[in-house]
Amino acid sequence: MQRVGGNFEFHRSGFDPESNQATSAALDTLYGLFDVHPPAKPEHA
């Protein structure tokens, strides 16, 4: 789960801005379900 989140954070700037917030919210839900901490956001995000 952390790898999926890390990949999203790394590529966040290339995602569709209109779906970025919804994708972040979905990942936050998954982090809670799997009881893992979200990865750190890269400095360029």
4-44 pLDDT per residue, tens: 888 888 888 888 889 988 988 999 999 999 999 988 876 76
Q: Which domain holds residue 25?
A: 2-34
Q: Is the pLDDT of residue 1 over 90?
A: no
| Count of CB atoms situated within 10 Å of the CB of 5 | 21
Q: Which amino acid is residue 1, in one-letter code?
A: M
Is residue 19 packed enough to be buried (19+ CB in 10 Å), middle (13-18) or exposed (0-12)?
exposed
- Domain membership flag for residue 43: no
Domain count, the chain: 1
Whether 11 maps to a domain, the answer reads yes
Tell me, what's the pLDDT at 11?
A: 87
CA distance 42 to 21: 17
Residue 27 within any structural domain of the chain: yes
- Specify the DSSP class assigned to residue 34: H
Torsion of CA 19, 16, 28, 4, to 10 degrees: 140
Tell me which H or E stretch contains 6: helix 2-11
What's the pTM value of the predicted model, to 2 decimals? Answer: 0.72
